[in-house]
Structure 1
Amino acid sequence: MNRFTIDLWVNNRFGVLNRITGLYAKRGYNIESIHAGPTEVSGVTKIEIVSTGDDYMRTQVLSQLEKLYDVRKVELSSEEAIR
């Protein structure tokens, strides 16, 4: 299993974090850590999720997160940033 980090920029609205974590839960994927904080853009929050999984799981999560309402941007962090 590989460890990877996904960065999300989302609209700061009610239920967004619940939809994101629900996506992981429905598919039986694990979240090792999750961190959310404000950005310099008003109304936008950055969420960082650290997970473990194979290449297929990572690809599926990225694809599904991009489809969620209120998700503005999805980015896979570089391996060097993962600690």
Structure 2
Amino acid sequence: MAGPDLSAVTAMVDLSTVVETVLFVAIALVYVYVAVKGVKMILAAVRGGDGYELDPEGFDPYEDYSYSEYARDNRAAGLPVLSEAEFDRRQ
């Protein structure tokens, strides 16, 4: 026993415009992401730093913070961990 013939109903549905719109939005989001990353890179280059320097108020995030504490916290947060030599250089 065959099921009902729904070809007349499904033939009227055109998903090409929906797919095209979804792809357009995805590409637009990629462009925005790349543009924001580029601006951040340019600002970091202009400022001459990598974001680990002292902030304007003078707070040093590495002060009184051992390498083992830093490495433990960053690993727990899923963040990259500097080498111990690089950590010491930045203190």
Whether the TM-score (by the shorter chain) exceeds 0.5 is no
* Structure holding more strand per residue: 1
| Higher Cα radius of gyration | 2
